[in-house]
Structure 1
Amino acid sequence: MKKALDVLIVDDQAGVRYLLEILVKESGHRVYTAQNGVEAVDKVRTIKPDLIFMDVRMPIMGGLEALGKIKKIAPGTDVVMMTAYSAEDTATIAMQKGALLCMSKPFDVDEVKNLLDNFARNFKTYEQACIENYA
């Protein structure tokens, strides 16, 4: 069964946020946005998103720093990092900090739609996963 997700989009570029917002809404999910890592961390505290799309490079607080803080607040929240700068070490660091995956920008629209669809279909809350793993 496909679940409607709470998705947070974090990017300093309004155009990227807008495009992802359209894709998320068209896929039947609720969407929230933030312009930087500080806003993202604050929103995670209040909305507890199921999935986050977050840019690596942003002013005020970058994505990697925000990722570390988010994983402490909401360890079960899955985060997809996005970067226009294809650096293998950035992807490695993101994965070590707990990112689900690292996606290159510009991204493929169909790839994002498929990711949302697959994630929603297979979604389990952090609590559900813990119960299944320790039952």
Structure 2
Amino acid sequence: MKRKILIVDDEIGIRLLLEDLLASEQYEVRTAENGKEALELVKIHNFDLLLIDYKLPIMDGIEVMKQIEKENIVLDTIVMSGLVENIQEDTYALKNVKKVLSKPFDVLEVRNFVNQLLAD
């Protein structure tokens, strides 16, 4: 069975880039452009991994992550941000966060990290 990944970013270019990259690795990929949409998808689908931008419209990435944990959903998460040093404190408190990626990121590094996380 294919592992499922949810990519959440308000920039369509980043969503498409990551979607293409991870679909080519045989993952089932869904995307969302804001936090509210992401949370709705997480409640319906059983994702194996969440790649989420820290700054999102409607509902911020950090709010989405806190809500997921509050509902006791275990979901490995990679946070993407242009200002990594400013968000370390917020993300370290969250159990689901496995990595914080600085934007712009190296796609090969992302692919390798995702493959490591989802390797059974």
Please report the TM-score for the alignment, with normalisation by the length of structure 2.
0.92
Q: Is the 8 A contact 1:95 1:101 kept in 2?
A: no
Distance 1:64 1:109 in 2: 23
Mapped pair 1:65 → 2:60? no
Secondary structure at the aligned position of 1:32 is classed as strand
CA distance in 2, matches of 1:120, 1:85: 26
Q: Is 1:120 paired with 2:90?
A: no
- The equivalent residue for 1:92 is 89
Aligned residues: 119
Higher helix share: 1
**Structure 2 partner of 1:46:** 44
The unaligned stretches of length 5 or more in structure 1 are 123-135
Detail structure 1 runs of 4+ shifted over 2 Å in the superposition. Answer: 72-75
Equivalent position to 1:105, from 96, 103, 106: 103
- Cα offsets for 1:65-117 (capped at 9, x unmatched): 11001122353111110001232x41231121231111111110111110121
| Alignment partners' CA distance in 2, 1:72 and 1:110 | 32
Q: Is the 8 Å Cα contact of residues 84 and 101 (structure 2) preserved in structure 1?
A: no
Q: Classify the secondary structure of the residue corresponding to 1:100.
A: strand
List gaps (5 residues or longer) in structure 2. none
TM-score by length of 1: 0.82
- The percentage of aligned residue pairs carrying the same residue is 34
CA 74–46 in structure 1, closer or farther in 2 if over 3 Å, else same: farther
Letter of the structure 2 residue corresponding to residue 34 of structure 1? A
Q: Whose Rg is larger?
A: 1
Change in Cα spacing, 1:4 to 1:119, as seen in structure 2 (3 Å) is farther
Aligned counterparts of 2:64 and 2:16: Cα–Cα separation in 1: 21
What is the deviation of 1:120? 2.1
Choose 66-75 or 6-15, whichever is displaced more. Answer: 66-75
- Aligned-pair Cα RMSD in Å: 1.4
Could you tell me which residue of structure 1 aligns to residue 75 of structure 2?
A: 77
